[in-house]
């Protein structure tokens, strides 16, 4: 954690905000890495996530990953996709379970989830276990049986930590928090 970056709240949260801006949040709860993407997945943002992912995988030999893409997000461009492939190469060898959450309803969200499901089935080797979900709750429910280790913490605390990270991302984009790295989510 960066000195002086902890938020002052009455209770200490277990969710750590590694990085946040208007387009993405990188956070964690123990060995669960949480990546939240806003409207755009920009190559320069993915480049910073690459550095953070390397540091995270050095810290934890076994991880789980929750990727949340908000409703209406643009499909990443060519440069972003290249960097996302690099990110997969860093994360997947140590990932025991991976959930992609594509939020929203309607044809576009459904088509995106279907495409991701197909890509995970026919693409290069992925995490040991992976799922494409419609909501964060569905993704967290699916993760439960795969995260039976001390490094993944308590299921209810993990769920609360992810909700705290999501709220932090919402609040940040609404102007309620300053950009900081290494802070605990409110």
Tens of pLDDT, residues 108-153: 555 554 555 544 544 445 556 778 888 999 999 999 999 988 999 9
Q: Which residue has the higher pLDDT, 184 or 103?
A: 103
Tens of pLDDT, residues 94-115: 999 999 898 766 655 555 545 5
Tens of pLDDT, residues 11-62: 345 899 999 999 999 999 999 999 998 888 899 999 999 999 999 999 999 9
**Does residue 49 lie within any of the structural domains?**
yes
Supply φ then ψ for residue 122, to 5 degrees: -110, -10
pLDDT recorded at residue 130 = 78
Quote the domain boundaries for residue 26.
Answer: 16-184
**Does residue 7 lie within any of the structural domains?**
no
**Does residue 1 lie within any of the structural domains?**
no
- Residue with the two structure tokens 């954690």: 1
What CATH number has the domain bearing residue 88?
3.30.750.24
Torsion of CA 53, 57, 63, 65, to 10 degrees: 10
**Does residue 11 lie within any of the structural domains?**
no
Number of domains in the chain: 1
Kindly report whether the global pTM for this prediction surpasses the value 0.85. Answer: no
**Does residue 145 lie within any of the structural domains?**
yes
**Does residue 4 lie within any of the structural domains?**
no
Evaluate if residue 65 carries a pLDDT over 90.
yes
**Does residue 100 lie within any of the structural domains?**
yes
């Amino acid at each position: 954690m960066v000195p002086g970056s902890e938020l002052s709240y009455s209770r200490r949260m277990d969710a750590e905000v590694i990085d946040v801006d208007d387009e993405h949040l990188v956070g964690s709860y123990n060995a669960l890495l949480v990546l939240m993407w806003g409207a755009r997945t920009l190559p320069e943002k993915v480049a910073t996530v690459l550095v953070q992912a390397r540091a995270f995988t050095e810290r934890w030999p076994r991880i789980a990953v929750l990727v949340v893409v908000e409703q209406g997000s643009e499909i990443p461009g060519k440069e972003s996709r290249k960097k996302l492939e690099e990110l997969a190469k860093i994360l997947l060898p140590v990932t025991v379970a991976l959930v992609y959450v594509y939020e929203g309803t309607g044809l576009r969200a459904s088509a995106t989830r279907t495409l991701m499901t197909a890509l995970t089935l026919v693409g290069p080797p992925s995490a040991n276990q992976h799922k494409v979900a419609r909501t964060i709750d569905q993704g967290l429910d699916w993760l439960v049986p795969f995260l039976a280790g001390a490094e993944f913490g308590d299921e209810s605390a993990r769920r609360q930590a992810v909700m705290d990270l999501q709220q932090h991302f919402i609040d940040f984009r609404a102007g309620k928090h300053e950009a900081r790295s290494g802070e605990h989510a409110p």
